[in-house]
Amino acid sequence: MIKLYIATILLTLALSSPAQLKKFTVEVPVPPSFKISDSIQSFTLMNRSMTPEFSNIFDDSLQVAFYRKNFDTNYIIIDSLVADTTLKVLGDLLYDSYRYDIVIPVDRNLYRTESYLKTPDPLDWETVNSICETYQTDALIVLENIATRVVTNYTRTKELIDFTYYNIHLASMDFYYRAHWRVYDPKVRQVVVDILVNQDTLYWDNYDYSLVEVFRGLPSVKEAAIETGIKTALDFSQIIAPSWIPATRYYYLTKNQSIDLSVQLAAEGKWNEALENWLPYAYLGSNVNQSKIMLNIALAYEMTGDLNSAIEWAKKSMQTFYREVTNHYLKELLKRQLAAKK
């Protein structure tokens, strides 16, 4: 199920508490760089990067090869495990964004004969339709190409300590990646995203008096390559899917059981019901009390994904009775609205 907004109550919503202003933590969405059509709610993920040059390189063998070159290399890694990890992690990230349902088939590799240096032409629409129909998804994401470059460096120098020179060993690894992604929408027969991402992404270094300890403090080349694949997936997920960050939100208790029933409903995740219960009380009582209910209503609208209504009611609360907490909340909502428009 697609969730527009998810809230996590961290504090007990105790109606008997004497304090009226309460706070809790929610996760608010950060919009993606590219807006995917709302008609796309699910994806099949396939890997088309595999060429005959790819293999699952043994960790120890790869590490020894770098040691034999004195750990001073500029090397391209085309590893099948890195490519597969990238696809799997992307699936997890897209699903965890609460925006998409994801299918990653067991037979997810679309093998090709071209060199990894070349990105293949887009898939034909008969193939795209067949894949989406088979796995009952709205669209298809394909990792068309991926390669990882690592630059390693090892140096030895001397350091003067208490009139004695000691050997100092220094080692570093810089990882870069190039990944080409396409998103195919069979309904409109369009490649809605076609992007080549080049990133200098991850860096490790270490130094020590002991050569053994220097490399013990670094990940292996294979481990670092896999972490680069994870970062590759993270970067692309932020292009097409919202991410979530924690934020503090506030609400008011009125000590009126009928009104505060909404708090219990909200604690159970029933924000629509909480909103319906609060709305009739918005204009009852003093301005001070009205402004509290209006702030609660603004919060409920935000929790149900209606950002414009949340802003409208936060403004109403401010106009009815000014509070700094409401002013701060309104600014947060306006920032979210601006980010969504961008």
CATH number for the domain formed by residue range(s) 6-31+245-341: 1.25.40.10
Q: Taking the mean position of all CA atoms in its chain, how far away is CA 299? A: 24
Q: Which CATH architecture has domain 42-241?
A: 2-Layer Sandwich (3.30)
> What is the tens place of the pLDDT at every residue in 221-241?
999 999 999 999 999 999 999
Contact 109, 146 (CB under 8 A): no
pLDDT beneath 70, residues of the chain: 1-19, 342
**What residue segments make up the domains of the chain, in order of their start?**
6-31+245-341, 42-241
**Among 70, 80, 84, 59, which residue's Cα sits nearest to residue 221?**
59
Contacts of residue 62, defined as CB under 8 A and 6 or more positions apart, other chains included, come to 77, 220, 221, 222
State the amino acid at position 287 in one-letter form.
N
Q: Which residues partner with 148 through β-bridges?
A: 77, 177
Q: How far apart are CA 11 and CA 267, in angstroms?
A: 10
**Among 336, 337, 342, which residue's Cα sits nearest to residue 245?**
336
Q: How far is CA 123 from CA 105, 117, 150, 186, 300, in A?
A: 17, 18, 30, 11, 44
Q: How far apart are CA 129 and CA 138, in angstroms?
A: 9
State the amino acid at position 170 in one-letter form.
L
> What is the tens place of the pLDDT at every residue in 4-31?
444 444 444 444 444 488 888 888 888 8
Write out the chain in H/E/C secondary structure: CCCCCEEECCCCCCCCCCCCEEEEEEEEEECCCCCCCCCCCEEEEEECCCCCCCECCCHHHHHHHHHHCCCCEEEEECEHHHHHHHHHHHHHHHHHCCCCEEECCCCCECCCCCCCCCCCCCCCHHHHHHHHHHHCCCEEEEEEEEEEEEEEEEEEEEEEECCEEEEEEEEEEEEEEEEEEEEEECCCCEEEEEEEEEEEEEEEEEEECCHHHHHHCCCCHHHHHHHHHHHHHHHHHHHHCCEEEEEEEEEECCCCHHHHHHHHHHHCCCHHHHHHHHHHHCCCCCHHHHHHHHHHHHHHHHHCCCHHHHHHHHHHHHHHCCCHHHHHHHHHHHHHHHHHHC
Question: What was the pLDDT predicted at 27?
Answer: 84
- Reading the block at residue 260, the tokens are 């505060």
Question: What was the pLDDT predicted at 342?
Answer: 66
Question: What was the pLDDT predicted at 3?
Answer: 44
**Among 63, 49, 51, 55, which residue's Cα sits nearest to residue 222?**
63
**Among 5, 35, 63, which residue's Cα sits nearest to residue 245?**
5
